[in-house]
Amino acid sequence: MKPIFFLSAFFSALSIFLLQSVSPLVAQETIRKAFLAGTLKNSNNAPVNFASAQIVETKEGRLSDKNGQFLIASVTQGTVTLRIKQNSYEIVEQIVELRIGDTTRIDLTLYPKVVTLKEAVVGASAFTTGEIKGVTLRPLDVVTTPGAAADIFRALQTFPGVANADDGSTLIVRGGDANETVSLLDQATIVHPYRYESPSGGAFGTIPPFFVSGTMFTSGGFPARYGNALSGVLAMESQNIPMQDALSLNLGMFGASVGVNWAAIPDKLGIRFSGNRTDIRLILAVNGAADEFPTPPASYDANLSVVFKYSASGKFKLFNYATQDELGVKIHRPAYGSEVDAVYRNSSLNRIHSLQWSDLLDDWLLKASVSWNAYSGDRSLGQLTIKPADNTYKWRFDAEKDLSENFRLLVGQEVERTEYSLTGRTPAQGRIYDPNATVLYPIDAHLGANRWGGYAEVETKFARQWLLGAGVRADYHTIAQQLVFDPRVSLRYAMDEFWNIRASWGVYHQFPQIDQFNSVTGNPLLQAQQAQHYILGVDYQEGDWLFRVEAFSKQYDAMVIRSLATNLGNLSNGYARGVDVFLKYGAYLVTPISGWISYSYLTAQRLQTRDVATELLYETAPAAYDLTNNFTVVLKNEILPRFTGGFTFRYGTGAPVTPIVGGAKMPDGSYQPIEGAVSSERLADYIRLDLSFSYFYPFATKHSAVFFASINDVTNEIRTLGYNYSTDYSVRTPRQSTVRRTLVVGAMLSLGL
């Protein structure tokens, strides 16, 4: 025991000696340091723990404890900056004075973080879709929306600010014409975004929903990065690398489709392929409408996409898509010069090719793309035969960088080349396309134009609850020989983490469509059309709930309308004003009940032409899409496990129409219309109810099947779309919708490989 006793006594003595020796050094070291002691509490006077307290100049710091307290020992003295950071709270910086050998005490209050640059968009009127924060509508929601026919455009028609003008998919945004909204995919401009095109839009959107990973749709107040659009923007992003190999098959009364996803090199290289054949002859036969279509609507499409991820942040996306459609429909219009029905025929081929590169370099998020959209069509009505064709080539570059936590810079430019041609023939009697006409005029027009655009934007959090977005863009058009500048500003005030007030103002220009510049029926001297947007709104988002109210005003100027002197001219002006309301809850298969309610009030006036046979009069009257009230309810419910049902109810004020009150007989024996007061009549209100049911059946490990049925237009409403007139315009009959209540059934099989 003695050795152990002596060893213990030795170490005890050594420890006492060392402590006595070191104590003066510790005391001396303490004297050479300054201390900063603090207490952190939130606005409810509760302690804030695990907050980082750091002296900016020396990087010395500590974390606060459970009582919100911290103590920093610093080797410096004088004026320093103390920075407090905690993920749930706003950053706080405080200037303090440190003195060697002394302790500075400070108490700080932290406030919850209610707004950051990285969360929602700064501006107003934007709805996002896809798997991103603030999601409003997922691709799956598009497919399961009753009456949407698995179409992005039709689903967006159930949102506020987008009117239900007819049974088509055209995006009529806040009283604007169809061509006032631009559609983009991976930065490429989709010049022809609709299938089965007509002058006012189309029956379906060109891009299927599962081709895209997400979208941004805005009905006004959009930032400077988007140009050459007066009313709205639909910006889509194509799918990324598939996570696993998969095969999908779809079969129904509408046709069949097949899709293949191949993860060739996991998380490096992925390929997607799909093919689709749409043929609604069976639907028409079952629902008793086959006689109206000498050539039933049909289409083919194919898609091949390749995504190559060459680094953690860099990737290439190659998107190729082609769709071909055709139809022939009876037109009950004796005014076309014959007392028998005319047949309108239309076929088209639309191709989209895009290569996009994106990467993160030196904290800059960079995107660049080259694209080509090629379109050709063949349309005929009586002796009118036209073959439009256009090719649009585009190069675009975008860059953005967070210069600090509170300041973001965005810049970009684009070059767009459009080549247009129109060939065919037209009867000599102007707008009367007599199938027996013998005097025909040839049509042979060719045009080419370039548009250059560039923009710069800043987004800044200039106070704890304020976000500001400001930008300017410039566009130049080679035919118009005009340079336009568009300043835009958006402001957001976060009342708390759920409520926001938004306001925006901006100038928007859009050049006329290229065919309007031709010297025969158009005007090569046309200039850009202009609109100013004023928007003020309030929104609330918490959990599964989203609520938004927004008031807007659009002032139009230099709009293109008919002119006797120059065929077309920038002669029109006007306005569109209104209020949009949106309430949404849940998401399909995420919550037992999901859906949304939207309401829009609109009043729109424009200067328009009135044709009285021998001259044109100009009158300010309700615009063509002055649809005063639009109300939509979309509801989806999981009735039984994996069995869901839902409905979409829509009501809209009837569209304005200009009646023809008589006909003037011309020397050649034909009649020219004499129009009454512009927009002095309205069509009947639009009312429609759609139902859908689906059953989801998973089997094995990776496989599933979905069986679905839908009844569109349950009430079988006979809608008047306009009026037909006799040859001399003395008799008027309503032109009614061809297809009303329809039943559609089908199934989709998904196999994980």
3-state SS, one letter per residue, for 217-283 = EECCCCCCCCCCCCCEEEEEEECCCCCCCEEEEEEECCEEEEEEEEEEECCCEEEEEEEEEEECHHH
For residue 379, the model assigns a pLDDT of 86
* Backbone φ/ψ region at 245: left (φ over 0), alpha (ψ -120 to 50), beta: beta
What is the separation of C-alpha 47 from the centre of its chain, rounded to a whole number of angstroms?
43
Tell me the per-residue pLDDT of 678-698, one tens digit each, with 9 for 90 and over: 999 999 898 999 999 888 888
Which residue in this structure is represented by tokens 């005890």?
A: 12
Q: Which residue has the higher pLDDT, 219 or 339?
A: 219
Contact 141, 150 (CB under 8 A): no
Q: How many CA atoms lie within 13 A of 674 on its CB side?
A: 10
Residues 6+ apart with CB under 8 A from 23: none
What is the model's pLDDT at position 167? 74
Q: From residue 43, give the alpha-carbon distance in Å to each of 67, 111, 462.
A: 15, 6, 21
Cα–Cα distance measured from residue 116 to residue 464, given in angstroms and rounded to the nearest whole number: 9
Spatial separation of the C-alpha atoms in residues 321 and 22, rounded to whole Å: 78
Most confident segment among 257-266, 402-411, 480-489: 480-489
Cα–Cα dist 189/392, whole Å: 8
Q: Which residues contact 148 (CB under 8 A, 6 or more apart)?
A: 142, 154, 155, 157, 158, 648
Q: Determine the Cα–Cα distance for residues 388 and 511; give it in Å rounded to an integer.
A: 19
pLDDT of 120 reads: 42
Share of the chain above pLDDT 90, in %: 39
- In the predicted structure, residue 117 carries a pLDDT above the cut 70: no
Q: Is residue 228 within 8 Å of residue 191, measured between CB atoms?
A: no
Say which DSSP state 542 is in: E
DSSP symbols for 164-202: --SSS---EETT--GGGEEEEETTEE-S--EES-BTTB-
Model confidence at 14, in pLDDT bands (50, 70, 90)? Answer: very low
User: Where is average pLDDT lowest: 97-106, 467-476, 736-745?
Assistant: 736-745
How many CB atoms within 10 Å of residue 270?
Answer: 24
Q: What is the structure's pLDDT at 726?
A: 79
* Cross-strand pairs, 365: 360, 400
Helix H or strand E encompassing 155: helix 152-156
Helices (H) and strands (E) in the chain, counts: 4, 45
Burial of residue 661, with CB atoms counted within 10 A of its CB: 0-12 exposed, 13-18 middle, 19 or more buried: middle
Residue 556 has a pLDDT of 97
Number of residues that make up the chain: 753
Cβ atoms of residues 535 and 551 within 8 Å = yes
How far from the centroid of its chain's Cα atoms is residue 120's Cα?
15
Structure letter (DSSP) for residue 211: G
Spatial separation of the C-alpha atoms in residues 516 and 360, rounded to whole Å: 41
Average pLDDT, the chain: 84
Residues 6+ away with beta carbon under 8 Å from 174: 161, 219, 220, 231, 232, 552, 554, 576, 578, 600, 602, 604
Amino acid 710: pLDDT = 86
Residue among 732, 729, 693, 731 nearest 710 (CA): 693
Region of residue 685 (left: phi > 0; alpha: psi -120 to 50; beta: else): beta
pLDDT score of 572 more than 90: yes
User: Using an 8 Å Cβ cutoff, are 620 and 635 in contact?
Assistant: no
Task: Note the pLDDT of residue 456.
Answer: 97
d(CA 750, CA 242): 14
What count of other Cβ atoms lies within 10 Å of the Cβ of residue 573?
A: 16
Average confidence (pLDDT) over 179-194: 90
Instruction: Give pLDDT, residue 437.
Output: 61
Q: What is the pLDDT averaged over residues 731-737?
A: 82
CA distance 497 to 495: 7
Q: What angle do CA 691, 329, 738 make, to 5 degrees?
A: 35
Across 612-685, the runs of DSSP E, i.e. the strands, are 616-622, 629-640, 643-652, 656-657, 660-665, 671-675, 681-682
Dump pLDDT digits (tens) for 124-139.
565 554 433 334 556 6
Q: State pLDDT tens for residues 650-678.
A: 999 999 999 999 888 877 777 888 999 99
pLDDT, residue 200, reads 61
- Predicted confidence at residue 250, as pLDDT, reads 81
> Quick one: pLDDT band at residue 564, thresholds 50, 70, 90?
confident
More confident residue, 596 or 131: 596
Name the DSSP letter for residue 64. -
Read off the pLDDT of residues 534-562 as tens digits, 9 standing for 90 and up: 999 999 988 888 899 999 999 999 999 99
Residue 27 pLDDT > 60, yes or no? no
- pLDDT tens by residue, 389-419: 999 999 999 999 989 888 999 999 999 999 9
Report pLDDT for 133: 36
Distance between CA 141 and CA 9 in Å, rounded? 80
User: Is pLDDT at 573 greater than 90 in this prediction?
Assistant: yes
Pairing of strands 342-361, 78-86: unpaired
Q: Structural domains in the chain? A: 31-110 (2.60.40.1120), 126-752 (2.40.170.20)
pLDDT-based confidence at residue 21 (cuts at 50, 70, 90): very low
Is pLDDT at 480 greater than 50 in this prediction? yes
What type of residue sits at position 408? R
Residue closest to 403 by CA, chosen among 458, 476, 444 = 458
pLDDT at 16: 39
Q: Check pLDDT > 50 for residue 181.
A: yes
Residue 236: the pLDDT is 86
Checking if the pLDDT of 568 tops 80, the result is yes
Backbone region of residue 590 per phi and psi (left: phi > 0; alpha: psi in -120 to 50; beta: other values):
alpha
Closest-CA residue to 394 (of 444, 451, 437)? 451
| Cβ neighbours, 10 Å, residue 94 | 12
Determine the pLDDT at residue 13. 45
Nearest to 160 by CA among 500, 650, 619, 529: 650
pLDDT category at 227 given cuts 50, 70, 90 is very high
Task: Report, as an integer, the average pLDDT of 455-479.
Answer: 93
pLDDT of residue 634: 93
Cα distance between the two ends of the chain: 75
Two tokens at 676?
Answer: 């009454």
What does the CA dihedral 655, 661, 665, 671 come to, rounded to 10 degrees? Answer: 20
Please compute the mean of the pLDDT values over residues 343-360 and round it to a whole number. Answer: 91
**Calpha distance 747→694 (Å, rounded):** 9
Indicate if the alpha-carbon torsion angle 388, 284, 201, 184 is positive or negative: negative
Q: What does residue 461 show for φ and ψ, rounded to 5 degrees?
A: -95, 95
- Other C-beta atoms within 10 Å of 483: how many? 11
Q: Are 169 and 201 in contact (CB under 8 A)?
A: yes
**Dist. CA 402–CA 406, nearest whole Å:** 8
Quick one: pLDDT at residue 239? 85
Query: Radius of gyration over alpha carbons of the chain, in Å?
Result: 32
DSSP state of 654: P
